[in-house]
């Protein structure tokens, strides 16, 4: 099984979707070995502890610059032997050190149909506020690979979600999570685990 590290910043609902999927046997090719939080008060750490997964805090404020922060995250990923990295509501932007070390092995879930409402500054409720302000009738979620451009990596999966009359950003956010994010992310993680397990076995000559 591929060793997976999950990076989080807040409540960890997407992390919980992954843990629940794993418990149901839906991620047979991966195991969660560490949760890295950007904030010490992230409830995702409680979710990790309840599942018996090690949680660590690496706060951006503790480092003088992005390079030092990036180096600390990479060191933590390497320490736990992570082979796949999942950004599940991680609000900090990864620097080139981590991206280069895990090229095509970092996936992110974004609460919109990329290329709409994505890129720098579009995260959390801001995405849903923008969708409602624009008046779109359909939104959704996207799982994509991470590269040096925010939300610019190759798209792996998307799922559309209806925008309804009377929606608030909070109501729309919940619907997108329930109907798209919590379904797509476990599927994408399993797909990538199976893919990389085969690639790594081949490279080892097995």
Residues that are catalytic:
110
Query: Which DSSP string do the residues of 87-143 spell out, in sequence order?
Result: ESS--SPP-HHHHHHTTT-EEEEESS-TTSS-STT--THHHHHHHHHHT-SEEEEEE
List Cβ neighbours of 49 (8 Å cut-off, separation of 6 or more).
55
110 closest CA partner among 185, 32, 19, 35: 185
Cis peptide before 115 (omega within 30 of 0): yes
Q: Report helix, strand or coil for 159.
A: strand
Joined together, the tokens standing for residue 57 give 């805090």
Beta-bridged to residue 160, according to DSSP, are: 140
Unique residue bearing structure tokens 């893919």 = 195
Joined together, the tokens standing for residue 59 give 């706060």
């Amino acid at each position: 099984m591929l060793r997976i590290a999950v990076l989080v910043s807040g409540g960890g609902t997407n992390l919980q979707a992954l843990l629940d999927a794993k418990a149901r046997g839906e991620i047979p090719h991966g195991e969660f070995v560490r949760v890295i939080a950007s904030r010490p008060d992230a409830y995702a750490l409680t979710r990790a502890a309840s599942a018996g997964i090690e949680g660590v805090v690496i706060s951006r404020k503790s480092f003088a610059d992005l390079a030092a922060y990036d180096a600390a995250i990479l060191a933590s990923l390497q320490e736990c032997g992570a082979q796949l990295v999942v950004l599940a509501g991680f609000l900090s932007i990864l620097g080139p050190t981590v991206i280069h070390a895990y090229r095509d092995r970092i996936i992110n879930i974004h609460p919109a149909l990329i290329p709409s409402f994505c890129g720098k500054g579009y995260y959390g409720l801001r995405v849903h506020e923008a969708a409602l302000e624009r008046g779109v009738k359909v939104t959704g979620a996207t799982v994509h690979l991470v590269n040096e451009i925010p939300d610019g990596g190759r798209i792996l999966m998307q799922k559309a979600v209806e925008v309804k009359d009377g929606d608030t950003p909070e109501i729309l956010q919940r619907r997108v999570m329930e109907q798209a994010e919590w379904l797509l992310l476990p599927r994408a993680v399993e797909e990538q685990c199976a893919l990389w397990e085969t690639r790594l076995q081949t490279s080892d000559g097995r």
